[in-house]
Chain A
Amino acid sequence: GESVGLHLPTLSVQEGDNSIINCAYSNSASDYFIWYKQESGKGPQFIIDIRSNMDKRQGQRVTVLLNKTVKHLSLQIAATQPGDSAVYFCAEAGGGSGTYKYIFGTGTRLKVLA
């Protein structure tokens, strides 16, 4: 969901469970999508990306799903660990703007409960 200012959507999951973080992107012409993880006081860290010609891409413990019809992106984290606690941002790029600047989503805070 959307949030403003300091109130990030928060997802709390038990350690070992799977997490699903959702994101709605804005530009139907965007053709590259990335998930970033941001820990407190640090810069965004790349997790996984997907191009618009794909619906699904898997990495180590993470899967990204892309639904272009409804402009929706999701990140699935398998067997969530305490080290996964962070804010997760989706970003979109391309869209014919000429440069691949990233447009970031609002972010979701993931809390892993022991």
Chain B
Amino acid sequence: EPEVTQTPSHQVTQMGQEVILRCVPISNHLYFYWYRQILGQKVEFLVSFYNNEISEKSEIFDDQFSVERPDGSNFTLKIRSTKLEDSAMYFCASSLGQANTEAFFGQGTRLTVV
């Protein structure tokens, strides 16, 4: 069964450092998303991406965040200068269409900023 894969599973970084979280969405999917989940809290939308551009972003997704689809298979989330409060699980998701189609989530990357 096709799945969304994310690497690494766990990333520890020092405050102020840049991190890149990587995702390989399901191959025929067209819409890509990043969500995050702070420990014990609900999953929060960060950004959606379609046709090589950001479709929508939340207020969390500020100038420190960026996304890229550098080739036909990878989808990355970059945090330029990490803060302690960026520590969370980051989930990548993809969907075939936009309206009323389920999004498939990856297993997540646990980011710990120290």
Contact = CB atoms under 8 A, between A and B. Distances in A.
Contact of A100 (B35, B43, B98, B105): B98
B108 A46 contact: no
A107 B56 CA distance: 24
A61 interface: no
B41 A5 contact: yes
A106 B44 CA distance: 10
Interface string A79-101: 00000000001010110011111
Contact of A49 (B42, B50, B102): B102
A25 interface: no
Given A105-B42, A106-B42, A107-B42, A98 B55 contact: yes
B59 to A, nearest CB: 13
A99 B100 contact: no
Contacts of B65: none
Interface string B88-114: 000100010011111111111000000
B99 A32 contact: yes
Interface stretch (A13-21, A37-45, A70-78): A37-45
Given A43-B106, A43-B107, A46-B104, A99 B55 contact: yes
Contact of A6 (B40, B105, B108): B40
Given A8-B40, A46-B104, 13 more contacts: A6-B40, A41-B108, A43-B105, A43-B106, A44-B43, A99-B48, A100-B95, A100-B103, A101-B33, A101-B58, A104-B42, A104-B43, A107-B42
30 contacts: A5-B40, A32-B99, A32-B100, A34-B102, A34-B103, A41-B107, A41-B108, A43-B4, A43-B91, A43-B108, A49-B102, A51-B100, A89-B42, A89-B43, A91-B43, A93-B100, A97-B56, A99-B56, A100-B48, A100-B95, A100-B99, A100-B101, A101-B48, A101-B56, A102-B43, A102-B45, A102-B103, A106-B41, A106-B42, A107-B42
